[in-house]
Amino acid sequence: MEKLIHRHDQILKELDEKGHVLVQDLCEKLNVSSVTIRKDLNYLESLGLLFRNHGGASKQVRYAYEKNVGEKENINVEAKQAIAKAALSLIQENDCIILASGTTMHYLARMLVNSGPLTVLTSSLRVAIELCNNPNINIIQLGGEVRKSSTSIVGSISEGILKQFSCNKLFLGVDGIDPEFGISTSNAAEAHLNQVMIECADQTVILADSSKLNKKGFGKIASLDKIDYLITDAGISDEDKLGLEELGVNVMM
């Protein structure tokens, strides 16, 4: 087996610092051809040291896979709670907002216990139940097919109901945020409903911890130019933050 050479060490160091690297950037930094860099990346991937993707490589696999909502609740809990708390600053009295599904939305719903008056339209059964504790919040629950893994509603019935409304803001959780692919989720039906939600809202706010950055889910929701705000945690790199801001996304932490 070929041994790691100095160039490989440089690639891995760059990857450790940035989280992901591009072939073109490595060519310029290491003064070698793109053919050489691609061979290097393929070899390092065969050793399990990185994951290849279009145009470069990442420290982590770039594809997001569907997890049950119960499993998600135990992942990055503190970050999700902090993100939900930050989202409160974007909600004003008498707003009409959409809360999509996801564990971060559950935290946000709990934090709205003393808020209002508000109108909240939601696809999440758990969000609706949480909000029932607040008499100052008018709740509109979308109807349709229930996705048991996410305790949320999807499908043509919910999409038809949704199109009857216009809201100030949409708060949306995603499984992946990729500069080229955009925002995405691991379920196609959920992705399609989220597309309709974006059409019905004046502003779209993404609630996603930094582990979702530079990942792709199966179902594309929208390109990044459709996003107004991303609320994330301090784990976001300066490079990723700058790239999102150049696309017009306001990044909050």
For the chain, domain boundaries: 1-58, 69-251
The reported pLDDT for the residue numbered 241 is 92
Angle at CA 26, nearest 5°, toward 11 and 45?
A: 45
Count of other CB atoms within 10 angstroms of residue 101: 27
Per-residue model confidence as pLDDT tens digits over 171-218: 999 999 988 899 999 899 999 999 999 999 999 999 999 889 888 888
The reported pLDDT for the residue numbered 17 is 83
**Is the pLDDT reported for residue 156 higher than 50?**
yes
CA atoms within 13 A on the CB side of 12: 15
The reported pLDDT for the residue numbered 61 is 60
CATH code, residues 69-251? 3.40.50.1360
Cα gap 21→156, rounded to integer Å: 40
Per-residue model confidence as pLDDT tens digits over 89-110: 999 999 999 999 999 999 999 9
**Is the pLDDT reported for residue 70 higher than 80?**
no
In the chain, alpha helices (H): 6-18, 23-30, 34-46, 69-72, 77-87, 103-111, 125-131, 156-162, 188-199, 238-246
The reported pLDDT for the residue numbered 239 is 86
Sort residue 151 into left (φ over 0), alpha (ψ -120 to 50) or beta: left
Q: What is the mean pLDDT of the chain?
A: 89
pTM of the predicted structure, to 2 decimals:
0.75
Architecture of domain 1-58: Orthogonal Bundle (1.10)
**Is the pLDDT reported for residue 150 higher than 80?**
yes
pLDDT over 90, % of the chain: 61
Q: Is 234 within 8 Å of 253 (Cβ atoms)? A: yes
Cα gap 28→213, rounded to integer Å: 25
The reported pLDDT for the residue numbered 73 is 60
**Is the pLDDT reported for residue 1 higher than 50?**
no
The reported pLDDT for the residue numbered 64 is 54
